[in-house]
């Protein structure tokens, strides 16, 4: 249920409505907008309370929301959410480029790569410190030491950093160090991790599970938002299909569909979808052309020496080529075309 | 096996090699190139004949081909195949736009649409006359009468036409009328139809089955080519996955991978992948950005009145918008980047 | 729409109703039952004719059918269809065993195998003569000569034979020789082949495509039935998924669901699903335990010498073991449990 | 690497080998067997250490293990693992029946159901207390109170209980209360949870993720085993495919393949695969017929009143029917047939 306040409603009126919602055993989520405040209502809402709330002072309309996802849906918030990370705006008209190595491996590798990437136009730096690995015998990341290196790279370059929070136990560490907290595809339905991310005041980059439907992705984002964190960035990174020529099948069609049903920004990880360097650039062009709000792409100064995911990392030269090509594509993409007004 | 002739080899030398191949129980496929002629050899080839052929006059090298697909592979023919249809070149630097209604429904609908499309920049006209329908109770197409309407549309607009040959029984009819013969996704492994298409001297547009791997698609093209027809256009149109928000999942990654392994042109059908009009334009932009050689897209002057697939047809206005946007994307795409020389 | 005749209705009354249906531009399909005749009505039926037909003499009820499949649905024919092939009944209480080599390779191999299989309890003999092969360079079957060998194997053993009709061109040959005509998975939506099979008076074994939904399978059967052939045997043979340990994923759940929605018998091909001999027996047990009406399984006297699909063929010893184990499972399976009365 | 000790090797010799392994920077996993002890070696093992270890006292052979999964593989431990839970043996010749409601809802519902199930032949009781729910607005389980009810049900019936540990935070609570700790499908790659489970001395029931390959499932089990917990029970519960008639597609073929490659027991959850009550019994029969070591099935005394998953819960009468039918199938299944000796 969504309660629309009048444009002239006072803060006090908003508060009173919220208290009335709580008194009915439901949970209010005030969503301040440019013109007016809306109040999302979650909990086991039937239609009964609807009329009651419509009578309250300052309320102009009460709307039933029929989708299972509420806070993430455009029904509740028609305007695009723009997530701000320092000087970077995600979900605004210009797509953002998040780039960096799969894993933080050393100070030299990471800081050097960050400096090079800044020179080539990257907006943010990515780098894994706690790595989810299919096998217990694979390199698991540098952990806390990696985070320190990331912070140093940010200090030296000004690039905000994003890194994955793998567990609730290590969440605080990651949260303190980074600017955007990544939730990985294998954790998309790790509900305690999602709730913890929802209590953070830092933005969350939520990757789609390789087997999630659009609805399941939005409900995972709903876990984060319903705890109070409105800054969620969705990320498509390929799904599991029978198709063998890529590691995953990039589901390019989810981009324009998400643009219609949610106000959250959506970026694409072409590197994990491809699993092979030689098609990362074409997939990146396709993602931006389809309307993505940005990319998160693996770049390594010497991919053959990478400790994880080397075969899918771009070289710095290739990253430069990618930025050039995207610069020509971006003007061709009407922003938010999918939104039906 | 691939036999490379010297650049100075005479036609007679090529003939002699072909006869030697046949004498070994194998089948020669001469492939004239700009600089030299290559001779593809198919049949149950072991390594034994290799040395023998290397001794023949005019031969410079004999190469073993390890992929199951041979004539379609870049190993045998490194340069791109450009399929010529009247004034249109498919597989050349400029992507082509094939557009038109799902089904030919009436003279007025088809000729009128063709004239409008020509004005908007379409290169070819599509229109189904023999329709593959999941249910026996659905509209099955106008058949021979539809072909006559297509021919009239071509006569009035100059646009070459493409239509599906659904069966070997009706193949002759379609072949005579159209400029490019389409083999539908459900017939991708209808081997007698593929062989019949291989005996045609008209180009074949071969759609990928919704469950075909890349290798199966190329082996289907191999059926056509091994009968002697070198003019095959591959078409990606979405695969079956668990993902529900589109009718099929457009496998965008197959475009750059195909560009590497085959010399055949590859186009994309965004309409059948989407199954919904509102994301056809973003998918189209993505396909061109990923390196596709063209699109085949459903356009209807009044989609709500269409007798089949109305919900996924673009309006003429949307087609115009699409052409405009693609015009900005095309310059950003290096042609044939995937080819490893 | 389904028109139920009274149990006392005369043939003449049935005829009159059929003529009335035709006069309305629809197509009647009389379905004689043990107690009464029903008349399926196909075509673009709205609800308007319903009352009119209910008034006709001999009619007891007119039922609207809401599923897209009609003749194949239990709504139209609640009792199980039993397909009779000589002495064999498919769809009756005892599951049938159809066994034999993937391809008919020689007189000795086929007749010898047939004799051994008869001794081990097989009900029918399978053997491919026209083979659908992914690659044009693979063994394509013995064709007409293979059919002659199959006929001889039947003459010497009394086992009815089943073989695939690959094309409309060779359909007559196969139809004349065999007792059951197989339509392969890759041809499940080859609609001209389905229509030709619908005009045959021999039973049709219709294999599910590797990417077909339940509804698409039933609509393919509907193509056969709507041409007048009521004897269709459905066959599950595995679907395409990401799962790699088998060639296809046997969709065991479709068996009990099909039992609910259709009256047609359903058998299982464990050999093509598995693609590996070592799990064919467990899959076979599972299929019978799930309620399948029979199996079609590849058996070869010397699998290592087989010209196609050797790795998945059972030896004769393994077939004997399979029959023994199934004999213990069959009594545990309530027949037709899925049917909701 | 696997180090096989002589049958006459002393405990001291085993210890010395383990210390030598550690001295090489590797990790030893002693696996005591009936006849001899084997020592699994994990870590970045090349072939260099192999000869060195072969020289140690008490060692008879050193074997390289080529699969990415080691401790879970039959290469390291050829004999079946039998997991003992009180009087229940999982992985032994008789399949086990784990049954109960999806969620623990009340004392009366749970204890009453447990008593009825014991009377009908169930071996263990299942019941969710911490529920993973796709939506944050769905019932999340009774938590600690639910565990108390489960314990009471065990005390009154003697049935061991299994329940899901959803997070590392609540792991201790669940571990203390239950006899077998379940890791859910959505947590199959929650690596911190797997490691925590590996430190428990209680058996772990590990469900396959809906998108996991066989190898990924075994590597998840490897996380548990490599921390020292050898008692892992694998559980197939259906995978994500395009097929719509069930909620997930039960991958019946993984059962015999797992039996070949791993020594761990494998059970099946037919309820979550089906998502609909009416096919749970056929899927259960199929699972046992394919060689599963048991079932975990949802049973509810009044499914229409269930707070979660009611549509897929069997009634008590249906559970009784299931037990009867399985009793006839079990003798038909040779145990461990897949094992290649």
pLDDT digits (tens, 9 = 90+) for D210-249: 999 999 999 999 999 988 899 999 999 999 999 999 999 9
Instruction: Look up the domain containing D286 and give its range.
Output: 83-326
Do residues A24 and A97 both lie within one domain?
no
Contacts of B223 in chain C (CB under 8 A): 136
CB neighbours of D42 closer than 8 A, spacing ≥ 6?
A136, A137, D26, D27, D29, D70, D71, D226
Cα of B117 to nearest chain C Cα, Å: 32
Neighbours of chain C (3+ CB pairs under 8 A): A, B, D
pLDDT for res C338: 43
pLDDT for res C339: 44
Do residues A8 and A148 both lie within one domain?
no
Cα of C197 to nearest chain B Cα, Å: 14
Cα of C268 to nearest chain D Cα, Å: 13
- Between chains, do B167 and C192 touch, taking CB under 8 Å as contact? yes
Asked whether the predicted pLDDT for residue D49 surpasses 80, the reply is no
Identify the residue among A41, A70, A137 best suited for mutation to test binding to D, counting D beta carbons within 10 A and taking the highest.
A137
Do residues D312 and D172 both lie within one domain?
yes
The larger pLDDT score, comparing residue A139 to residue D110, is at D110
- Could you tell me if residue D293 is inside a domain? yes
Q: Which of D63, D97, D113 is the last residue of a domain?
A: D63
- Could you tell me if residue B222 is inside a domain? yes
pLDDT for res C340: 42
pLDDT for res D336: 53
- Between chains, do A289 and B243 touch, taking CB under 8 Å as contact? no
pLDDT for res B42: 79
- Between chains, do B328 and A331 touch, taking CB under 8 Å as contact? yes
pLDDT for res A44: 65
Nearest CB neighbour to D68, from listed A135, A209, A211: A135
Do residues C228 and C259 both lie within one domain?
yes
Asked whether the predicted pLDDT for residue C159 surpasses 80, the reply is yes
Do residues D162 and D254 both lie within one domain?
yes
Judge contact between A292 and B292, C-beta under 8 A.
Answer: no
Q: Which of C28, C63, C98 is the last residue of a domain?
A: C63
pLDDT (average), residues B64-71: 80
Find, in chain D, the residue whose alpha carbon is nearest to that of C282.
D290
CATH code (residue D24)? 3.30.70.1140
Q: How would residue D44 be classed by pLDDT, with cut points 50, 70 and 90?
A: low
Find, in chain B, the residue whose alpha carbon is nearest to that of D211.
B242
Residue length, chain D?
Answer: 341
Find, in chain D, the residue whose alpha carbon is nearest to that of B210.
D242
Q: How would residue C138 be classed by pLDDT, with cut points 50, 70 and 90?
A: confident
- Between chains, do D245 and C213 touch, taking CB under 8 Å as contact? yes
Q: How would residue D339 be classed by pLDDT, with cut points 50, 70 and 90?
A: very low
Do residues A249 and A319 both lie within one domain?
yes
pLDDT for res C193: 95
- Between chains, do B43 and C137 touch, taking CB under 8 Å as contact? yes
pLDDT (average), residues A11-24: 91
Contacts of D338 in chain C (CB under 8 A): 278-279, 282
Cα of A272 to nearest chain D Cα, Å: 16
Contacts of A138 in chain D (CB under 8 A): none
Of B45-59, D1-15, D139-153, the poorest mean pLDDT is in: B45-59
Find where tokens 């006392």 sit. C8
Nearest CB neighbour to B283, from listed A239, A241, A252: A252
- Could you tell me if residue D160 is inside a domain? yes
| pLDDT, tens digit, 9 for 90 and up, residues B112-125 | 999 999 999 999 99
Judge contact between C292 and C266, C-beta under 8 A.
Answer: yes
Share of chain C above pLDDT 90, in %: 72
Of A175-189, A197-211, C292-306, the poorest mean pLDDT is in: C292-306
Asked whether the predicted pLDDT for residue C341 surpasses 50, the reply is no
Neighbours of chain A (3+ CB pairs under 8 A): B, C, D
- Could you tell me if residue C78 is inside a domain? no
Neighbours of chain D (3+ CB pairs under 8 A): A, B, C
pLDDT (average), residues B45-58: 78
Q: Is A151 on the interface with B (CB under 8 A)?
A: no
Nearest CB neighbour to A132, from listed D136, D166, D189: D189
Do residues C175 and C241 both lie within one domain?
yes
Find, in chain B, the residue whose alpha carbon is nearest to that of D244.
B242
| pLDDT, tens digit, 9 for 90 and up, residues B204-248 | 999 999 999 999 999 999 999 988 899 999 999 999 999 999 999
| Burial letters D213-233, b for 16+ CB under 10 A, else e | bbbbbbbbbbbbbbeebbbbb
Please tell me the distance from the alpha carbon of residue C258 to that of residue A146, in angstroms, as a whole number.
Answer: 55
CATH code (residue C136)? 3.20.20.70
- Between chains, do A166 and D210 touch, taking CB under 8 Å as contact? no
pLDDT for res A33: 65
Of B38-52, B214-228, C227-241, D108-122, the poorest mean pLDDT is in: B38-52
Cα of A229 to nearest chain D Cα, Å: 14
Q: Is B266 on the interface with A (CB under 8 A)?
A: no
pLDDT for res D33: 66
- Which range, A26-30, A122-126, B52-56, C23-27, is most confident? A122-126
Asked whether the predicted pLDDT for residue C305 surpasses 90, the reply is no
Please tell me the distance from the alpha carbon of residue A231 to that of residue A91, in angstroms, as a whole number.
Answer: 11
Asked whether the predicted pLDDT for residue B90 surpasses 80, the reply is yes
- Between chains, do A246 and B260 touch, taking CB under 8 Å as contact? no
pLDDT for res A326: 96
Please tell me the distance from the alpha carbon of residue B155 to that of residue B149, in angstroms, as a whole number.
Answer: 10
Do residues C285 and C169 both lie within one domain?
yes
- As for how many domains chain C has, the answer is 2
pLDDT (average), residues D160-185: 96
- Could you tell me if residue C340 is inside a domain? no
The larger pLDDT score, comparing residue B23 to residue C283, is at C283
pLDDT (average), residues A312-329: 95
Which phi-psi region, left, alpha or beta, contains residue A56 (left: φ > 0; alpha: ψ -120 to 50)?
Answer: beta
pLDDT for res D340: 42
**How many CB pairs (< 8 A) connect B and D?**
5
Displacement of CA D310 from its chain's centroid (Å): 24
Asked whether the predicted pLDDT for residue D3 surpasses 60, the reply is yes
- Between chains, do D249 and C242 touch, taking CB under 8 Å as contact? no
- Between chains, do D219 and A136 touch, taking CB under 8 Å as contact? yes
Find, in chain D, the residue whose alpha carbon is nearest to that of C324.
D332
- Could you tell me if residue D339 is inside a domain? no
Do residues C236 and C166 both lie within one domain?
yes
pLDDT for res C283: 98
Contacts of B289 in chain A (CB under 8 A): 282, 285-286, 288-289, 329
Find, in chain A, the residue whose alpha carbon is nearest to that of C248.
A242
Q: How would residue B336 be classed by pLDDT, with cut points 50, 70 and 90?
A: low
Do residues C39 and C147 both lie within one domain?
no
Asked whether the predicted pLDDT for residue B34 surpasses 80, the reply is no
pLDDT (average), residues A31-46: 74
| pLDDT, tens digit, 9 for 90 and up, residues B240-278 | 999 999 999 999 999 999 999 999 999 999 999 999 999
pLDDT for res B334: 87
Please tell me the distance from the alpha carbon of residue D210 to that of residue A189, in angstroms, as a whole number.
Answer: 12
Nearest CB neighbour to A283, from listed B253, B260, B278: B253
Do residues C52 and C152 both lie within one domain?
no
- Between chains, do A240 and D136 touch, taking CB under 8 Å as contact? no
Contacts of D166 in chain A (CB under 8 A): 191-192
Would you tell me which residues 192-251 of chain D have a C-beta closer than 8 angstroms to some C-beta of chain B? 240-242
Judge contact between A249 and A239, C-beta under 8 A.
Answer: yes
- Between chains, do C68 and B211 touch, taking CB under 8 Å as contact? no
Q: Where are the alpha helices (DSSP H) in B126-246?
A: 144-157, 171-177, 191-198, 214-226
Please tell me the distance from the alpha carbon of residue D211 to that of residue A72, in angstroms, as a whole number.
Answer: 25
- Could you tell me if residue D69 is inside a domain? no
Neighbours of chain B (3+ CB pairs under 8 A): A, C, D
Q: How would residue C291 be classed by pLDDT, with cut points 50, 70 and 90?
A: very high
- What's the whole-number average pLDDT of chain B? 91
- What's the whole-number average pLDDT of chain D? 91
Do residues B48 and B138 both lie within one domain?
no
Please tell me the distance from the alpha carbon of residue D29 to that of residue D40, in angstroms, as a whole number.
Answer: 5
CB neighbours of D222 closer than 8 A, spacing ≥ 6?
A135, A136, A137, D69, D70, D71, D72
Q: Which of D34, D63, D92 is the last residue of a domain?
A: D63
Contacts of D167 in chain A (CB under 8 A): 168, 191-192
Find, in chain B, the residue whose alpha carbon is nearest to that of C209.
B211
- Between chains, do A242 and B244 touch, taking CB under 8 Å as contact? no
Cα of A153 to nearest chain D Cα, Å: 28
Contacts of B69 in chain C (CB under 8 A): 135
- Could you tell me if residue A128 is inside a domain? yes
| pLDDT, tens digit, 9 for 90 and up, residues C29-65 | 887 766 778 888 877 656 667 788 888 999 988 877 7
Please tell me the distance from the alpha carbon of residue A200 to that of residue A222, in angstroms, as a whole number.
Answer: 14
Residue A61, classed as helix, strand or coil, is strand
pLDDT for res A60: 87
Q: At what angle do helices A316-329 and B316-329 cross, to 10 degrees?
A: 140
Would you tell me which residues 55-74 of chain A have a C-beta closer than 8 angstroms to some C-beta of chain D? 68-70
Nearest CB neighbour to A253, from listed B274, B291, B326: B274
Residue length, chain A?
Answer: 341
Find where tokens 């698409």 sit. C216
Identify the residue among D130, D191, D193 best suited for mutation to test binding to A, counting A beta carbons within 10 A and taking the highest.
D191
């Amino acid at each position: 249920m969504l309660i629309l306040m009048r444009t002239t409603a006072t803060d006090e009126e908003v508060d009173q409505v919220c208290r009335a919602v709580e008194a009915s055993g439901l949970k209010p989520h005030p969503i301040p907008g440019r013109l007016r405040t809306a109040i999302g209502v979650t909990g086991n809402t039937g239609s009964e309370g609807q009329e009651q709330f419509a009578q309250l002072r300052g309320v102009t309309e009460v709307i039933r929301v029929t989708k299972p996802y509420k806070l993430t849906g455009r029904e509740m918030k028609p305007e695009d959410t723009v997530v701000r990370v320092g000087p970077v705006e995600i979900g605004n008209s210009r797509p953002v480029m998040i780039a960096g190595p799969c894993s933080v491996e050393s100070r030299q590798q990471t800081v050097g790569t960050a400096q090079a990437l800044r020179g080539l136009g990257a907006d943010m730096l990515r780098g894994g410190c706690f790595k989810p690995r299919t096998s217990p015998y694979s390199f698991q990341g540098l952990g806390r030491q990696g985070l320190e290196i990331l912070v140093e790279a940010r200090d030296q370059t000004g690039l905000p950093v994003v890194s994955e929070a793998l567990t609730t136990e290590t969440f605080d560490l990651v949260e303190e160090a980074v600017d955007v907290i990544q939730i990985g595809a294998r954790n998309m339905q790790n509900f305690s991790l999602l709730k913890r991310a929802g209590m953070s005041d830092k933005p969350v980059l939520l990757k789609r599970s390789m087997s999630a439907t659009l609805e399941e992705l939005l409900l995972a984002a709903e876990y984060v938002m319903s705890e109070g964190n409105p800054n969620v960035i969705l990320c498509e990174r390929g799904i599991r299909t029978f198709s063998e020529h890529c590691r995953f099948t990039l589901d390019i069609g989810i981009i324009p569909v998400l643009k219609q049903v949610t106000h959250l920004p959506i970026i694409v990880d072409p590197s994990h979808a491809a699993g092979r360097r030689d098609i990362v650039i074409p997939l990146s062009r396709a993602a931006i052309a389809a309307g993505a709000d940005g990319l998160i792409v693996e770049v390594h100064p010497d991919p053959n020496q990478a400790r994880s995911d080397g075969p899918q990392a771009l070289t710095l030269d290739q990253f430069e080529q990618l930025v050039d090509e995207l610069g020509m594509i971006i003007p061709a993409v009407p922003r938010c075309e999918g939104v039906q007004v």
